[in-house]
Structure 1
Amino acid sequence: MRILYIFPHPDDDSFGPAPVMWQQLQQGHQVYLLTLTRGGATKVRIELGLSVEAMGDVRYKEMLAVERVLGLTGMTVLDMPDGKLAEMDPREIEKVVETHIRQIEPQVIVSYPVHGVSGFHDHLVMHAVVKRVYLELKDSGADYLKRLAFLTLPNKTEQPLQSGKFLLKHSAPALIDCVVKLRPEDVEIMKKALSCYDTYQSVIQQANVVESVGDTVYFEIYQEDHSPPLANLTEGL
């Protein structure tokens, strides 16, 4: 099957989904990645003394390294304004995303849930755009589309306590439709993918990405209800 991941920024691919993407490739699926921005507006650029454009170039090169580590079937990185997707006409973003989907004709699309995990505006816009385009394509007869999934984190307690710099959003247990268990080799691939982001190592450490993901990755599946959850995103298709 063809699986398309759509995210707004560099490193979104490695903050959780990378080991699942690699696992899917090992299973014989075709895995594509579409990233809308080069992530040049990150505050890290100030520490490095780089302009938005120069930082975007650096992060794009880091993404090329991730592409090689994962062995992706295909990767496209656009240059939309980082941190400013909410200020754009959403129809412009939708047109670009729709064109890309039509070119690849994936059976499964993966993006962010309604809360965006981090709550960052670009993530929220990404969710709305992907959902709308998915539904409009389905309505227009795009029968190749079979499933829309959202990468998420589970809410394991009624009042989750969080510490540190990054306050993450969670999905209620009832919304979790797919739970992918990671093998040791999958976790190692995630570490290798994260290591490609040389300029983001301090952020990765502060976010405790590897520890937060652990050995399990969670997804919501749009308009589907699976209990018990599926073991992978292509199950039943």
Structure 2
Amino acid sequence: MKILYIFPHPDDESFGPAPAIAAQLRQGHQVFLLTYTRGGATKVRHQYGYTVEEMGKIRYKEMLDVADVLGLTGMQVLDLPDSGLKDMDPIEIEDITENHIRNIVPDVVVTYAVHGISGFHDHLVSHAVVKRVYSKLRREWDNAPSRLAFFTLAQSEKDDGKFTLQVSSEDEIDCGTPLSGEDIEKGARALDCYRTYQQVIKEARVLERTGDTVYFEFFQESFSPHVTSICDGLQDSE
């Protein structure tokens, strides 16, 4: 099946989802990534004396390394304003998202849960945009994705050290993807690609927080007990 992850920034795909992406690729699925911004506005740039543009170029290069490590089927990184998605006309972002989905024709689309995990407004905008586009396509397009999944954290993962993160309840979670040692190792290598972000990765305790399972909610679906793959219960469109 085709799976399309849509996130606002470089590293969003690696701060938790990367081992699940590795598992999905290992299982034979095609996995694509769309990132709205190059992440140049991050405060980390001040440590290096980089401008927003310079930091964006560096983070883009780091993302290319991530794509190689994970073996992504395809990746597109846009250059919308980092930390500025809330100031954009949402219809513009929706149009970009819809065109990309129509081009990829994924079976499953993945983005952040409604709380955005960190609560950062770019994350919240991405959730709202993707959910609206998905709902629109389900009404209008025969080839619309069959499922919208939201990457999230479980309550047991709330102890994250320096950063306060939002989690989903047991009732909200529909999928827990178990990770092999190979998946976890690839996730760690993906994080290593973000050379300018190593201190943040350490302080966020990304690897410890992820553990051996990655969790997802499903939009307008409910599974109890949890399924183990975001593709479970779907028929391949190909």
- Shorter-chain TM-score tier: over 0.9
Task: Extract unaligned runs of 5+ from structure 2.
Answer: none
Deviations 1:74-127 (A, max 9, x none): 000000000111111100100100000000000000000110000000000000
Q: In 2, distance between residues paired with 1:77 and 1:64?
A: 10
1:123-180 deviation per Cα after TM superposition (whole angstroms, max 9, x unaligned): 00000000000000111023341100000011249xx6x4632100011110000001
Percentage identity across paired residues of the two chains: 59
* Partner Cα distance (1:5, 1:212) in 2: 20
Alignment of 1:30-179 (within 5 A): 30-156=30-156, 162=159, 164-179=161-176
Structure 2 CA distance for partners of 1:30 and 1:53, relative to 1, 3 Å: same
1:139 aligned counterpart, secondary structure: helix
What is the TM-score when the length of structure 2 is the normalising length? 0.96
Contact 1:156/1:173 (<8 A) preserved: no
Structure 2 CA distance, aligned partners of 1:143 and 1:99?
13
1:38-88 deviation line (CA, Å, top 9, x unaligned): 000001101100000000000000000000001100000000000111111
- Matched residue of 1:114: which SS? coil
1:181 to 178, 182, 189: 178
Letter in 1 for 2:226: P
- Tell whether the 8 Å contact from 1:8 to 1:123 is kept in structure 2 after alignment: yes
3-state DSSP of counterpart to 2:171: helix
Normalised TM-score (structure 1): 0.96
AA of the residue aligned to 1:199: T
Residue 173 of structure 1 aligns to a residue in which SS?
coil
CA change 1:45–1:176 in 2 (3 A) is: same
Q: Distance in 2 between matches of 1:164 and 1:181?
A: 23
Letter in 2 for 1:35: T
Q: Determine if the alignment matches structure 1 residue 9 to structure 2 residue 9.
A: yes
Number of residues of Structure 1 aligned to a counterpart in Structure 2: 234
The one-letter code sitting in structure 2 at the alignment partner of 1:72 is L
- Give how far 1:26 is off: 1.3
Kindly provide the CA deviation profile for residues 165-214 of structure 1, in whole angstroms up to 9, marking residues without a partner as x.
21000111100000011111111000000000000000000000000001
- Alpha-carbon RMSD across the aligned residues, in angstroms, is 1.2
1:231 aligns to 2:224 (yes or no): no
Say which is worse superposed, 57-66 or 136-145, in terms of deviation: 136-145
Aligned to 2:191: 194
Runs of 4+ in 1 over 6 A off after TM superposition: none
SS in 2 for 1:174: coil
